[in-house]
Amino acid sequence: MNSNSNSYIFIYSVVMVVIVAAVLSTAATVLKPFQEQNKKNEKMSSILASAKIESTAENAEELYNKYITKELVINANGDIVGTYANGELDGDIRAFDVNIKTEQFKQGKGEDFLSPLYLCDYNGEKYYIIPMLGKGLWGPVWGNIALEADFNTVAGVIFDHKGETPGLGAEITTSAFEDQFVGKTIFKENGEFISVKIQKGGAKTLPANMQDHAVDAISGGTITSDAVSHMMKSCLGNYVEYSKKQK
């Protein structure tokens, strides 16, 4: 058959595409469980890291089950609508499976939304761990923040991002930036929610009574810094009602 005839070319491409599609979809199906497990491990590792618990891909799940004692799902009014502890689920959904992006979308439309909260018990200390998600300069930024048992003092925080500028905005993932948050408080002394602000020019430029609620921004990374600031304020804000009900 003439290999330059139209029908040959047509048949050739159809056969080639079908074979390639079959190979690729088989590979994708076979590898899917491994990839899902990797994503899960990364999420667990990041939750643990905010409370300063180091883990690797291998032991993330084990440590997570050991130290994260309870997962709560909270609605917009601050009521607990789901609890997951010791492998038993009470409610519709596990906090671990709550998709924050979808919940933020619901929140934006004014509907009821869910917020996940992790309770961690590490070396006798209790931590509340709150996942956060926001919009950075080039793509999403996210992170986890661990609050001490008073639901006010920051015990640790961890950030990550999709594609912030290396050397500038991407510096939010460095421990030099993250460690600044430790010991800051998210409520004013009169109990008003304020979050932790990332201050351009440095926290020192603020009045003394505000310095407990601010950290230094990154030089040259103003938009990313503002994004993280905004992310913390809006995400932590969803738990204010819950924390009031606890007291």
Binding residues (CB under 8 A) for other proteins: these are 3-4, 8-9, 12-13, 16-17, 20, 23-24, 27-28, 31, 34-35, 38, 41-42, 57, 166-167
The C-alpha angle with vertex 160 and arms to 154 and 163, in degrees rounded to 5, equals: 150
Instruction: State the nearest-atom distance from the C-beta of 146 to other proteins, in Å.
Output: 23
Nearer to other proteins, 16 or 149 (CB): 16
With a CB cutoff of 8 Å and minimum separation 6, the contacts of 179 are none
Task: Give the whole-angstrom CA distance, residue 1 versus residue 96.
Answer: 59
- Cα gap 242→236, rounded to integer Å: 11
Closest distance of CB 172 from other proteins, Å: 16
Q: Shortest approach of other proteins to residue 171 CB, angstroms?
A: 12
Query: What single-letter amino acid sits at 141?
Result: V
Cα dihedral 134→94→56→183 (10° resolution): 50
Dihedral sign computed on CA atoms, order 16, 22, 25, 28: negative
Judged by CB, which is closer to other proteins: 41, or 104? 41
CB of 11 to other proteins, least distance (A): 10
Q: Which is nearer to other proteins, 57 or 149 (CB)?
A: 57
Q: What amino acid occupies position 16? A: M
Nearer to other proteins, 167 or 183 (CB): 167
Minimum Å gap between C-beta 143 and other proteins is 16
- Which one, 3 or 175, has the nearer CB to other proteins? 3
Structure tokens at 23: 């190979």
